[in-house]
Amino acid sequence: MNGIFNDGFTTFDLESKTSLIRGSQTDVDITYHETESDAIIGIRPLMSPYTNDSNPQTIFTRIENTTTNCFDISS
C-alpha cells in the first residue's frame, strides 16, 4: 500500500500483468479499462500506474488480436 493511511486506495502497475495475460501470443494488444463497456468498445484505456477509485474495484482487460481485430474481455 502506498502512503501512510489505510484508506483502501493504492497505485497499481497494471502492466505487470500484461505478460501473464499475453502468454505465448505475439500478435495481441492488451489494454485495461474501468468498465466492461469501455473494454468492449475499446475506449478510454487506463494509464499505468493506476490508482483505484473504489474499493473493491474490478478492472477489465481487452485482449485484441492485431491481425484479425478479434478481441476478448476479461476481468
pLDDT in the model for residue 4: 60
pLDDT digit string (tens) for 14-57? 999 999 999 999 899 999 999 999 999 999 999 999 999 888 89
Report CA-CA distances (Å) from 59 to 4, 5, 36, 39: 24, 23, 8, 9
* Whether pLDDT at 3 is above 90: no
Contact predicate 39/60, CB 8 Å: yes
Locate all alpha helices (DSSP H) within 1-75, ordered by sequence: 18-22, 36-41
Q: What is the Cα–Cα distance from 39 to 11, expressed in whole angstroms?
A: 20
Indicate the SS3 state at residue 33.
strand
pLDDT in the model for residue 59: 95
pTM of this structure: 0.84
